A and B are shown apart, each in its own frame.
Chain A
């Protein structure tokens, strides 16, 4: 397991290296950050001064080298836009995104897994058919539309929940969290539900397909023949065996929830990272883009690693070192 961890860390290092190169070149291909960032009223001398202070006057390869140099000391550089360390800008918004993603994933699992199990075990019941039809809506309706509908229904018409923003927060582990206050939870509910909708349908359908496949297997038939209780058959023999693809999807989707929930974040005015990265790309704020993408690479690599550990727990035949 240790060697596997090391190997992955090295792989991640390569990915990050390649990514920083791509971003550095990419940003310069899109446009000149100077034209976007600098006040249009400035004269030539003032412009030069700013360009110099941002370090954009040097050739690209020099900028890249000094970036690598800073990186070696844990410094991602200062954001062009916010004039603060890029990492601080991102970390400020990390808790908001993290709790939203966790909450959405929790809803998706708690709702999707049991319903999928049910629909798989009893595929001919009317209720199962309703569930399956509902799940089609769940992943075919566009997120932004559902989000606006949620707001119109629950906030504007019924007035039950707040329409927008993060609400009150409470300090925990040095970060501010919404889920610790009632007001924060009320603000969290709609965006989390909005994000969860698609993931729920995905998990639901995946679980159902898995159940239908596993139910046919000889060991399930044998368990039944042995006279085991239905609960044991479902939760040990069936569930455990269909979890591998489900866990994979949960892991990857969790990553994408953290990295790419831009639409929901902007509709609900949720001050998370998704909105930040889009703004940064529009403003060509290179340090933030680079730091953000590096964090995402690390995130996805760690998630994959966690998923692999889950595999070994679920299926004793899987060995981390064997496959890599």
Chain B
């Protein structure tokens, strides 16, 4: 007996096969669990209570924002599908339709209004830097929202990407309601199962997520601040991905056939600040301890000599165990405001000595460098290395390292002569660190709060103010490039390096590290599937 395969029966069987595979594949993905080891503990699950990286990374699993901030600080649609600039101070957002909260209720404009206002008015003021320009939020209809700003705010999209949208029903709910309480749900890719403070957050996949379900049916965010413990858990197979892989563990992870190291660029810049304001600076003396009679940091040649005298390649290579890249300005290439015209100062001991001599210090001088301990990656080691290098160009350098709780207010108030500082460029734009650490101090406007060196250059201040009110992207980028040139070609700061994001992971994990260092389960994929 022969069977004839007609075209029709062939089609039918192909269709059946396709249907079968289509049914199989989601079932396939269902049994995937992901356990992430976070390097810092979270302080609250209330998405508007406290703004720090671990909190914000965790809240992004459960809640969405209007704008989706991508890994390289770009703005993409999330709960808002499109937006337009109505005039200088009005932005209109069209909301995504058909989105549902985890409890089944529909998402609409009321939720956006309630969330933005809640974040703005919360007593903790944690999101004030993002919400301070929001004057009012109005719902034009169920899926259109207009945000009015107090003045032209070019960074409003970035700001809105930071604020999670909660259900308007819980606009007045206290913190505890968001921690295993009735308010602990959003529209995000994962639903909260349980939160154990100081230990873990357990999540399950939101099957109805508007952007498609995640690869992982179950996600556990473990908080393991201890480096050794985190590494051991990865090696033992108890965790699938760990943040901030300790430098001494890199070899072990690379040598293990089941594991790999994932590296990416972060936007955190580490720099040395100098007192450029006072006529005599307290921690600089002549080599015999007598007063120097002048503040050498007021001379651009001395500042450049300091930068030239530091072997930053070696610091990145040895002190940071390659977990960073040498910086020449605030942001790396590809970020807003990076300028190709910033001179890259090479390591040159003789050149540095020559510059010092030219500035009138042929025999150098003595100074004390200050730094925090345990705040930034290898902070006290960086300060020590820098001190040795400065001593080599003829500046006798003593080191003083203090705990962060003591250091933080003293350095920002400008008590030191040469000090270590760092800034996470969380908008991805040059203006963000410039406002905080370069702008002339102005408490009213919130400028120069961390300007510990007392930098006050009218040209720079003018550019910073101009950048803050220019809406047009191209123009704003040009202003920020000029800003980079002015700051770094005059060496107002000594840029050291950008920290890297270093993760340890199982071989099957695919993840492109994000500039904001968030480890988001939704963006982690299983490459065996």
Contacts and interface: CB of A to CB of B under 8 A. Distances in A.
A30 B229 contact: no
A267 B226 CA distance: 6
Interface string A29-57: 01110011011111110110110010000
Nearest to A155: B236
Contact of A164 (B129, B232, B408, B445): B232
Interface stretch (A3-11, A58-66, A232-240, A271-279): A271-279
Nearest to A44: B443
B132 A43 contact: yes
A163 B41 CA distance: 18
A159 interface: yes
B41 A279 contact: yes
A224 interface: no
B238 A162 contact: yes
A159 B236 contact: yes
Contacts of B239: 164
Interface stretch (B138-146, B193-201, B390-398): B193-201
Contact of B409 (A35, A93, A164, A283): A35
A89 interface: yes
B199 A166 contact: yes
B363 to A, nearest CB: 38
Nearest to B375: A282
Given A35-B408, A36-B405, A39-B125, A271 B238 contact: no
Given A31-B405, A89-B197, A42 B238 contact: no
A163 B412 CA distance: 41
Contact of A31 (B129, B200, B237, B406): B406
B211 interface: no
Contacts of A14: none
Nearest to A34: B409
Contact of A83 (B50, B198, B406, B450): B50
Given A50-B123, A83-B175, A35 B412 contact: yes
B73 to A, nearest CB: 16
A269 B236 contact: no
A269 B199 contact: yes
Contact of A40 (B123, B199, B232, B449): B449
Interface string B238-275: 11000000000000000000000000000000000000
A148 interface: yes
B128 A42 contact: yes
B445 A43 contact: yes
Contact of B224 (A81, A164, A284): A164
A22 interface: no
Given A31-B405, A151-B236, A267-B228, A39 B126 contact: yes
Interface residues of A, number: 50
A53 B126 CA distance: 12
A155 to B, nearest CB: 4
Nearest to B199: A271
B233 A269 contact: yes
B198 A275 contact: yes
Contact of B200 (A39, A92, A165): A165
Nearest to A33: B405
Contacts of B449: 40-43
Residue of A35, A84, A269, A282 with most partner-chain B CB within 10 A: A269
Contact of A82 (B43, B123, B450): B43
B222 A159 contact: no
B198 A41 contact: no
B222 A271 contact: no
Contacts of B50: 81, 83
B236 A266 contact: no
Contacts of B123: 49-50, 53
A83 B124 CA distance: 9
Contacts of A152: 232
Interface string A155-184: 110010011111000000000100000000
A93 to B, nearest CB: 6
A165 B35 CA distance: 12
A292 interface: no
Contacts of A269: 199, 222-224, 226, 229-230, 233
Nearest to B46: A83
Nearest to A166: B199
Given A35-B412, A152-B232, A155-B238, A44 B404 contact: no
A254 interface: no
B150 interface: no
A159 B198 contact: no
B238 A93 contact: no
B446 interface: yes
Contact of B125 (A31, A42, A276): A42
A268 interface: yes
A267 B227 CA distance: 8
Contact of B232 (A83, A155, A276, A283): A155
B225 A156 contact: no
B181 to A, nearest CB: 12
A47 B449 CA distance: 11
Contacts of B409: 31-32, 35
Given A31-B405, A269-B226, A271-B198, A165 B238 contact: yes
Contacts of B126: 39
A84 B229 contact: no
Interface in B320-367: none
Given A83-B175, A164-B232, A165-B238, A39 B51 contact: yes
B21 interface: no
B160 to A, nearest CB: 16
Contacts of B445: 43
B422 to A, nearest CB: 11
Interface of B: 41, 43-44, 46, 49-51, 123-126, 128-129, 132, 175-176, 196-200, 222-226, 228-230, 232-233, 235-239, 403-406, 408-409, 412, 436, 443-446, 449-450
8 interchain residue pairs of minimum CB distance: A43-B446, A41-B129, A271-B199, A271-B198, A35-B409, A155-B236, A53-B123, A44-B443
20 contacts: A35-B409, A39-B126, A41-B446, A42-B125, A42-B128, A43-B443, A83-B175, A148-B232, A155-B236, A156-B236, A162-B238, A164-B222, A164-B229, A164-B230, A164-B233, A164-B236, A267-B226, A267-B229, A269-B199, A271-B223
Given A30-B406, A41-B449, A42-B446, 5 more contacts: A81-B50, A92-B197, A152-B232, A166-B199, A267-B226
